[in-house]
Amino acid sequence: MQPAPPLREIHCFARVARHLSFSRAAADLGMSQPAMSQAIGRLEQSLGMRLFDRTSREVQLSAAGKALLPYARTLLDTAAAFSAEAARLAEPPRPIIRLAYAPLVGSLAARAARRLAQREPAIEVELRPAGWRAATQALTRGEVAVALLSAPFPTGFTTGARFGVRVGHLAVPAGDPLAALSQITPGLLGRYKVLLPANRPHGGMWARVAATLNGPHQHHVVADDIDDFAAMLDLVAAGTGLLPVPQLLATWIRRQDVRFVPFDGGDLRMTYGLAWSPERVSPEVMTLIHAVQETLWTR
């Protein structure tokens, strides 16, 4: 088997075939016209056939040249892909940080991830939506480096970048008389149940909501923790109960079967922040923490 022609000569062949001109092909590749003619001549000699029919006025592909041109292009594309992949493999791997986050503040997590992807050198953030319990377990096991979750923050972890999210609306079924009101006060909830989590730390938002109700008959425990407010709206639409929701949710979500009515329940706020293990701090983790802080300052 004869050795394959040099790739550079095949490149010259494809470029002359594109322009049907030795001079323009040579200019494209930064060569002189005689050097281009010599390269084509060597290729034709090694193949034992003419690739171009030349006259004093024009250059045309020969029948053999037309047949071989698709193979030349495929070969050049493959060579280019080979070089690109080799260059990618030669680069050091980008560091990856796994971030668990509460769905309500997913936009903040996404903005921080974009900020790190655009820096130099880039840091890849793998986002994992998770509730409070799942995020805490992932932190404990070392499956994620940082978690963006609501208070109370898990013990044994460092926390920072805290911020408050106001809870000023009640989600009610669209057909309920409450949906037509401009504001709901606790006194209007005598015959209604309010959806609450089982975990209501003292002093927290959920504990304050429960304190505004006159008895346990006025609330319905739906989970240990309420992390995904959007999913809870299905229970509201089904008539299971009303749901205190953050301003963010009332602004972003539109459903025909649920209405968001302002709620006069006092200064209700949920506190969110980052939590991470002090034993697993890395430069990349600190960069992520700073990115979240910067995102909070510029939102």
Q: What is the average per-residue pLDDT within 178-183?
A: 95
Q: What is the average per-residue pLDDT within 23-46?
A: 93
Q: What local confidence, expressed as pLDDT, does residue 216 receive?
A: 78
Q: Chain-centre distance of CA 32, in angstroms?
A: 49
Q: What are 267's two structure tokens?
A: 């200064």
Higher pLDDT, 259 or 90: 259
pTM of the predicted model as reported, rounded to 2 decimal places: 0.65
Q: Has residue 2 got a pLDDT over 70?
A: no
Tell me which amino acid residue 91 is: E
Map out the domains of the chain with their CATH numbers: 7-90 (1.10.10.10), 96-161+274-298 (3.40.190.10), 163-271 (3.40.190.10)
Q: Has residue 63 got a pLDDT over 90?
A: yes
Q: Has residue 1 got a pLDDT over 60?
A: no
Q: pLDDT digit string (tens) for 136-159?
A: 999 999 999 999 998 888 889 999
Q: What local confidence, expressed as pLDDT, does residue 138 receive?
A: 94
Contacts by 283-288, CB closer than 8 A, 24 or more apart: 284/95, 284/97, 284/123, 284/145, 285/97, 285/145, 285/146, 287/116, 287/119, 287/123, 288/97, 288/99, 288/112, 288/116, 288/123, 288/125, 288/145, 288/146
Q: pLDDT digit string (tens) for 276-296?
A: 999 888 888 899 889 998 888
Phi, psi for 68 (deg, rounded to 5) = -85, -20
Q: Has residue 253 got a pLDDT over 60?
A: yes
Q: What local confidence, expressed as pLDDT, does residue 299 receive?
A: 59
Q: Has residue 34 got a pLDDT over 90?
A: yes
Q: Has residue 165 got a pLDDT over 80?
A: yes
Average of per-residue pLDDT values in the chain: 90
Confidence of residue 47 (pLDDT cuts 50, 70, 90): very high
Which of the residue ranges 18-22, 203-207, 231-235 would you say has the lowest mean pLDDT?
203-207
Q: pLDDT digit string (tens) for 112-133?
A: 999 998 888 888 899 999 988 8
Percentage of the chain exceeding pLDDT 70: 98
Q: What is the average per-residue pLDDT within 218-239?
A: 90
Percentage of the chain exceeding pLDDT 90: 56
